[in-house]
């Protein structure tokens, strides 16, 4: 699958990006990347550093779930199957469910745990069930990713925990989101799960856009110190769907604000009929361009100005824990 700019739109968009960069005192962030795609036409509406290697963090789990959905479709797994928890799985750092060796978790609960809690121990349970070892499963993930067209992606684990060799791109993650929607539409609803009950604890979904941005119905957040705050999301309004990917937010709030801007700008470009489509898309997408932070983490652009949030304010649930234990 390939995403591309329309010729006229490409010329106008890149012109707007160049002007915005000249007018804004913005240094390119080493962690930041973004892309917005019209899922119905595969047209790229916005892209910044979309093909540069970035650490996916727990966006990795979207690929792990793709593998699960493949296995469900083929009959290799069933939703009711109980999968055993090994010592290796139980030893994974947070975010986790604190699974114990010798216990089990159903495939259905495992899916929900990855979507909401982003549980690293559950990711390894899945990896060992489908690949025998996590290392072999990561090899299978990489092979599948390349088959899907994610040519710049390499997986070394199933969770997204730090590994310098585990990289992807904003464009590749957009491809993955598109293929999840196309290939596994029957399972995509799991990505809109609000919360997950495990034992006596109820875990909310880390994706705050689900309940705050019109039309957003998935899919995954991610965070490590190396990656910054990442988000892959999809939204549908009035029969139109967009996919937005962002890497490198400085906080979960700044990431959420920026991705919201990207999504709103995309739909604004669809909804305004009085202007030429290419011109309107240029106008709508020119503000949320390439935010940056001197430490390499992205900050959102609002109306061409860098928006600096209160540090720590509005971080997703468990942000302090995330900072201590990556891959949420």
Catalytic residue among 61, 117, 144, 220: 61
Q: What tokens were used for 315?
A: 């971080």
- Picking from 100, 193, 160, the residue whose alpha carbon sits closest to that of residue 322 is 160
- Picking from 176, 29, 159, 10, the residue whose alpha carbon sits closest to that of residue 96 is 159
Catalytic residue among 31, 34, 58, 117: 58
For the chain, strand residue ranges (E) read 33-38, 43-48, 82-84, 104-106, 195-198, 201-204, 216-224, 228-237, 240-249, 301-302, 305-306
Check if 58 is active-site: yes
DSSP 100-134: -TT-EEEHHHHHHHHHTT--HHHHHHHHHHHHSSH
Cα distance between residue 288 and residue 301, in whole Å:
5
Please provide the size of the chain in residues. Answer: 328
- Picking from 254, 243, 249, the residue whose alpha carbon sits closest to that of residue 217 is 243
Torsion sign (Cα): 325, 130, 231, 286: positive
Grouping H, G, I as helix, E, B as strand and the rest as coil, residue 44 is strand
Catalytic residue among 34, 95, 118, 159: 118
Q: Which residues are catalytic?
A: 58, 61, 118
């Amino acid at each position: 699958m390939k995403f591309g700019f329309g010729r006229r739109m490409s010329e106008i968009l890149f012109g707007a990006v160049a002007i915005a960069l000249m007018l804004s005192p913005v240094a390119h962030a080493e962690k930041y990347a973004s892309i917005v795609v019209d899922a119905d036409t595969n047209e790229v509406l916005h892209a910044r550093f979309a093909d540069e290697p970035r650490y996916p963090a727990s966006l990795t789990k979207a690929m792990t779930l793709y593998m699960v959905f493949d296995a469900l479709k083929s009959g290799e797994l069933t939703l009711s199957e109980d999968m055993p928890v090994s010592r290796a799985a139980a030893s994974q750092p947070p975010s986790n469910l604190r699974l114990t060796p010798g216990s089990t978790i159903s495939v259905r609960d495992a899916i929900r745990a990855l979507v909401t809690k982003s549980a690293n121990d559950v990711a390894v349970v899945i990896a060992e069930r489908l690949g025998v070892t996590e290392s072999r499963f990561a090899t299978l993930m990489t092979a599948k990713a390349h088959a899907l067209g994610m040519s710049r992606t390499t997986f070394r684990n199933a969770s997204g925990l730090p590994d310098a060799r585990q990289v992807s791109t904003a464009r590749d993650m957009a491809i993955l989101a598109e293929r999840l929607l196309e290939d596994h539409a029957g399972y995509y609803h799991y990505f809109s799960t609000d919360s997950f009950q495990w034992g006596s604890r109820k875990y909310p979904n880390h994706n705050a856009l689900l309940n705050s941005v019109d039309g957003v119905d998935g899919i995954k957040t991610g965070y490590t110190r190396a990656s910054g705050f990442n988000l892959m999301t999809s939204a549908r309004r009035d029969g139109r769907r967009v996919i937005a990917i962002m890497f490198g937010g400085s906080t979960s709030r700044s990431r959420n604000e920026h991705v919201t801007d990207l999504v709103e700008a995309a739909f604004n470009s669809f909804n305004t009929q009085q202007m030429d489509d290419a011109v309107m898309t240029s106008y709508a997408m020119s503000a949320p361009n390439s935010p940056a932070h001197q430490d390499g983490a992205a900050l959102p652009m609002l109306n061409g100005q860098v928006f600096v949030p209160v540090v720590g304010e509005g971080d997703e649930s468990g942000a302090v824990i995330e900072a201590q234990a990556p891959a949420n």
